[in-house]
Amino acid sequence: MAKILVIDHDPAILKDIEVNLKDKGYDVFTAVNGTDGLNRFIEAAPDIVILEINLPDIHGFTLLEDLRDEDENVKVIMMTADHDMDTTIHAMKAGAFDYFRKPVHGDELVVAIQKALKARDMEKRIDALLMKSPRLFKAGDIIGTSREMNEIFKTIGTVSQSKTTVLIQGESGTGKELIAKVIHRMTSPGEPYIGVNCSAIVETLLESELFGHEKGSFTGAVSRKLGKFELARSGTVFLDEISEMSLNLQAKLLRVLQEMEFERVGGKDRVKVNARIITATNKELKSLVEEGTFRDDLFYRLNVVSIHIPPLRQRKEDITPLIDYLLAKINLDLNKQIIGVSDDVMDIFLRYDWPGNVRELENLLLSAAVGAKGQILVKDDFQEFLGGFQKQLIAERNQEDISETGIRLTLDEVEGRYIRKVIKESGPRTKGEICEILGISRPTFERKLEKYGITFERE
């Protein structure tokens, strides 16, 4: 039976809450002031404390600190008749689990108590695990245990032996710059790393940013400025969103790659380039070459070594280690002790498509962690996300068995569509791995490919 301590200077309110909670099966203790309340807390070691802010002898916030000194994991639900924004913010910042304005509805209080008890139980169960299995991460780690990420690690190891040009491609949020920084760290750790977002700077300024300019070369050029290639020395220049660079600047960049030297804007002196050049894009450069918006000769210069980062939906086995890593970062930033997500939340994460990739996962965890009241993130911490996820599922279900013409699909058509979807979303997996996902044998898979006219060449 859970024990609850109620501290309030109003005997009538104390009695109402005591009767209500005893009817719900809780063991209830009461106190009419802060001193008595602290003594009862030390004696009874309750699971939950319901605390009035305005007490006759000790202010509620001071008592909250005293309670947390006795038990830093105590769950305190605060309440007061004097409600204002600053008090609410102060209460939550001070470590209250929840906050209510009087009069408190009995059902609302019971729901808050249930949530607090659940959080406390989870914390007790994971304390030992947290001590036995501390997760140690370094800033800048690339997290992933999937086969796709392991291949990327191998490529990083290979390219780190030289200063060859590297092209990194992948959807937004997959971590392209993180990989560029790891390559730099492995190759030139003592040299500068300089990143430039080609889509964030207008063409006229981008040329000056990259190559620098001489005094008087244009209006506003009051002194010589060194460009990124020069400032990088023997380090790394990372050109993000290279697909957004104009054809004019593409030609100048090509000349730099061919000759490994350049001239500042308005200058005549030739400046040697010693830095490694890494580029990245969330678009398919080969398609842009075919469309005529990206130079084919520059593409081949940039594509000496290519790294393609698969989207998170194609490597969902990486979600668990990513959550561990991201929460470790978030705990440092927010001074929290969040250890993971509940099983039902993880199940949803594994079913979600993650259009924003790792960046979306990080932002979601950060948002949930800010308001989290326990060491495990539960469904209540992801309300807005879960609402959107449910809409996605409903839309998908409504479309799964309907053809483009609006006619309901046959069972064979549904199966064929599903197999195509699994193949498309599985990335570079082999037939054997696809069979494991589908839960069928290799011969059955081959028959279904032939039956539905599906081309699949990977072995």
Q: How many CA atoms lie within 13 A of 51 on its CB side?
A: 33
> Which of 328, 348, 339 has its CA nearest to residue 374?
339
Helix orientation angle between 343-351 and 319-334, rounded to the nearest 10 degrees: 120
Q: Strand, helix or coil at 247?
A: helix
With contact defined as beta carbons under 8 Å apart, do 29 and 52 qualify? Answer: no
pLDDT at 30: 93
DSSP calls for 135-154: ----TTPPP--SHHHHHHHH
pLDDT at 41: 92
Per-residue pLDDT tens digits for 151-202: 898 899 889 888 999 999 999 999 999 999 999 999 998 899 999 999 988 8
Per DSSP, 428 falls in state: T
Name the range with the highest mean pLDDT among 67-76, 121-130, 317-326: 317-326
Per-residue pLDDT tens digits for 315-342: 999 999 999 889 988 888 888 889 899 9
State the average pLDDT for the chain: 85
Q: Is the dihedral of CA 397, 400, 402, 408 positive or negative?
A: negative
Q: Sorting pLDDT into bands at 50, 70 and 90, what band is 126?
A: low
> Which of 162, 421, 428 has its CA nearest to residue 304?
162
pLDDT at 133: 43
Domains and CATH numbers, the chain: 3-132 (3.40.50.2300), 147-310 (3.40.50.300), 315-452 (1.10.8.60)
- The answer to whether residue 271 scores a pLDDT higher than 50 is yes
- The answer to whether residue 235 scores a pLDDT higher than 60 is yes
- The answer to whether residue 129 scores a pLDDT higher than 80 is no
- The answer to whether residue 137 scores a pLDDT higher than 70 is no
With contact defined as beta carbons under 8 Å apart, do 232 and 275 qualify? Answer: yes
| Distance in angstroms (rounded) separating the CA atoms of residues 269 and 291 | 36
Q: Which amino acid is at 188?
A: S
**Pairing outcome for strands 3-7 and 48-52:** parallel
| Distance in angstroms (rounded) separating the CA atoms of residues 309 and 156 | 12
With contact defined as beta carbons under 8 Å apart, do 88 and 79 qualify? Answer: no
